[in-house]
Chains A and B, each alone.
Chain A
Amino acid sequence: MAATRREFGTLVAAAGAAVAMPAVWRSAHGQGAPIRIGTTISKTGALSATKSTLTGLELWRDDVNKAGGLLGRPVELVTYDDQSAVAQIPSLFSKLVDIDKVDVLVSPYGAGLSAPLMPFIKQRDLFTIGMFALAGNDATRHDKFFHSAPWGPDSKINWARGFFDVAKQNGCSRIAVLSADVEFAKTAAGGAEQIAAEYGMTVVYKQSYPPATNDFSSILRNIKAQTPDAVFVCSYPPDSTALVRGLSEVGIGDSVKLFGGAMVGTQYASLLTSLGPALNGIVSFALYAPEPTMANTEMTAFLSRYEKVAAEQGLDPLGFYIPPFAYVAGQLIAAAVTGAGSLDKAAMAKVLHETEVKTIAGPARFNAIGDWTERRVLMVQFRDIKGKDVEQFRQPGRQVILDPPSLRSGELVAPLAKARSS
């Protein structure tokens, strides 16, 4: 059956429309399609205490979308549970990039989980915000990677430098270094030795111990025998608890002015409330403390909103450590996208390299490999802790900031024995 010229014309027009339709639809869809931000969250497994990352990101997403989105497009989070397993990271991030077609990545929590991601983002030239990936980009040196946490430059060595600055100011010259047999702690202990040497301090005792050690009496006795002025401790939550209890049980002598430094766990309400007054005198790191020198209405407002979600979802009730910096990750993305006026990755990176970004954790400037140019890791001394009520940790005067000097809210109370009894 032969088609008439009119029928043939109609057929050609219909075929043309059919061919053009997907492109027209894609174009229209692209204009209002969400900007997709992909990451993995450790919802299960050993790192599941870090799942409050998602809450911080969700609060930022809600704020941005309420204000009209980015580039007139809504923001959407695409997340998967990485089960705290390094082995899950390559496949999940490949899925986020190749199948979910996310526009921006946020790294998984910590340097350990982020390690397998770094070569991938370098190879694919992806714009990525790092979540607590301490020194995560030092080896890869990807120019489109930016840390949300203020570890500062050369963080592998320097992030806990504040402890040694306080030690130096207080005349400490004999240092003991104690670390768990895990990567983060060993890295921190290595950095500590370098800084001690730089400051002319003598490392009189150096010891590592297996993770989850629950009795430190022998170690504390050996430290006591060396009469150090300061004890730099790189511990994880279970051992942080055992160490603090060990101090009460067997003591550490009168020579010690400063004890702590890199004790993971003292940033979370669960450990703070379980140890209560036993924390008095301990010095540890933090990224936020409710001290007058850090007073910031944006941060206070964020924490107030976070606390409500945390109560509903059973998350860390204080949320000082991770959630604000997940929100900061969002703020960095917003600044990059808005500043670039597009999702062009090179333009977004250029914005963050060249301009200061106002965040709820203060102004952020970045060096060539995405470190904050100013280290803002706090060294806080626990004081006046009474009982185990969580509310007291929201009050000023309980985590007194000793370092950095720009945020200092008090001086070190020393020696440790006096600080613990006061």
Chain B
Amino acid sequence: MILELLANAVSTGVLLGCIYAALALGLAVSFGLLHIPNIAHPVFVVTGAFAATVFNAMGWDPLLVSLPLALVFYGAGIAFFEFYSRIYEKRGEADTMQALTLFFGVSLVIETVLVMKFGADQRSTDVDYVGQSLVLGPVVMPYRLLIPALVAPVMVTALWLYLKFTYAGIAIRAVAHDERALSVSGINPGWIKRHAFGLAAATAAISGAALVIVGPIDPFAGRMQIGRAFAVVILAGMGSIPGTLAAGILIGVTEALVGAFGSPSWAPAVAFTMLLATLAFKPSGLFGASR
């Protein structure tokens, strides 16, 4: 019985951790690489979730439809970064407090728009695999968690390969490392940052589709994710993309074990306890802010 409980807790934790990583991935780019404290990212994710529900109501699979939606989010992310850049960065006023205030305001505006457009009721998707599970011996994995969880390794691998092996990806890592040096090399850091922010926004469309398969969402659902998303990014190490997946899984498994063998009420404290421990003992994160 205990072994069965343990095996199921670990498997559920891995699945939840992958979903946490998917939600935090955009933040790992905007905060980890660009150093922009985009606390509105979870609201971007919720916007992606709402967009997925709209197309799901027309019969589209939420994850499939999130791929073209990611392009729309990429464009919106570029436009938003241009606004942010013109208002703050070019005036040399982009200090952290102002940026936090801006993104806090943006998240409130988006939430209000979502309420006005969709109402405050919970929305969910209608997909055939919800309510069924993959049974592997004693381990039962609900497809409602399993399928969205598969999104994270795919996104993390694709983004990591892009950042490692493409010209634009290397430029993004360079702008994170030394923006001025990049300018000297004849590359426009503004364009690179816009592109990176667009990529971060694009991940929100896919993560949102994953989120709404896991459970119903409402316009305020992003608020529940902010703390955990930041914890994942910091635990991973600022800018470490593969580390985001590892950190998400670490938090997910720990939460699941605490829930199964301790009290589920303690589970929300797990991410923050790990965050505090990281800041105290290894401020650079588990994967050392590798670029």
Contact = CB atoms under 8 A, between A and B. Distances in A.
A48 B216 CA distance: 16
Contacts of A316: 121
B91 to A, nearest CB: 32
B153 interface: no
A210 B144 contact: no
A15 interface: no
Contact of A248 (B5, B121, B131, B259): B131
Contacts of B140: 217, 249-250
Given A48-B120, A213-B264, A238-B122, A250 B9 contact: no
A347 interface: no
Interface stretch (A133-141, A146-154, A188-196, A218-226): A218-226
Range of interface residues on chain A? 35 or more
Contacts, number: 109
Contacts of B263: 207-208
B8 interface: yes
A222 B265 contact: no
Contact of A270 (B16, B112, B123, B224): B123
A214 interface: yes
B219 to A, nearest CB: 8
A273 to B, nearest CB: 9
A248 B131 CA distance: 5
A212 interface: yes
B117 to A, nearest CB: 9
A221 B142 contact: no
A2 B221 CA distance: 79
Contacts of B133: 249-250
B125 to A, nearest CB: 9
Contact of B131 (A48, A225, A278): A278
Interface string A227-249: 00000000001100110011011
Contacts of B145: 215
Nearest to A42: B120
A283 B97 CA distance: 49
B123 A209 contact: no
B220 interface: yes
Contacts of B115: 44, 48
A77 interface: no
A80 interface: no
Given A44-B115, A218-B256, A250-B133, A274 B5 contact: no
Contacts of A278: 131
A270 B259 contact: no
B8 A218 contact: yes
Most chain B CB neighbours (cut-off 10 Å) among A271, A274, A316: A274
A328 B265 CA distance: 38
Nearest to A269: B121
A29 B219 CA distance: 45
A210 B259 CA distance: 10
Nearest to A50: B120
Given A49-B120, A181-B265, A218 B259 contact: yes
Nearest to B131: A248
Interface string B64-102: 000000000000000000000000000000000000000
Given A241-B215, A249-B131, A274-B122, A218 B142 contact: no
B267 interface: yes
A96 interface: no
B124 A215 contact: no
Interface residues of B, number: 40
A108 B128 CA distance: 40
Contacts of A211: 224
Nearest to B225: A212
B155 interface: no
Most chain A CB neighbours (cut-off 10 Å) among B214, B216, B268: B216
Contact of B144 (A47, A219, A222, A245): A245
Contacts of B260: 218, 221-222
B182 interface: no
A271 B215 CA distance: 11
B132 interface: yes
A388 interface: yes
Interface in B107-124: 112, 115, 118-124
B240 interface: no
Contacts of B1: 225
A214 B122 contact: no
B254 interface: no
Given A217-B140, A221-B5, A274 B119 contact: no
A209 B264 CA distance: 5
A249 B12 contact: no
B51 interface: no
B61 interface: no
A238 B9 CA distance: 21
Most chain B CB neighbours (cut-off 10 Å) among A207, A225, A250: A250
A315 interface: yes
A363 interface: no
B208 to A, nearest CB: 15
Given A48-B120, A249-B132, A270-B121, A238 B5 contact: no
A418 to B, nearest CB: 18
A268 interface: yes
A271 B12 contact: no
A16 interface: no
A274 B144 CA distance: 14
Interface of B: 1, 4-5, 8-9, 12, 16, 112, 115, 118-124, 126, 130-133, 140, 142, 144-145, 214-216, 218, 220-221, 224, 256, 259-260, 263-265, 267-268
Interface of A: 44-49, 51, 181, 207-215, 217-219, 221-222, 225, 237-238, 241-242, 245-246, 248-250, 265, 268, 270-271, 274, 278, 314-316, 388
A-B CB proximity, top 7 nearest: A48-B120, A218-B260, A209-B264, A270-B121, A249-B142, A248-B131, A214-B215
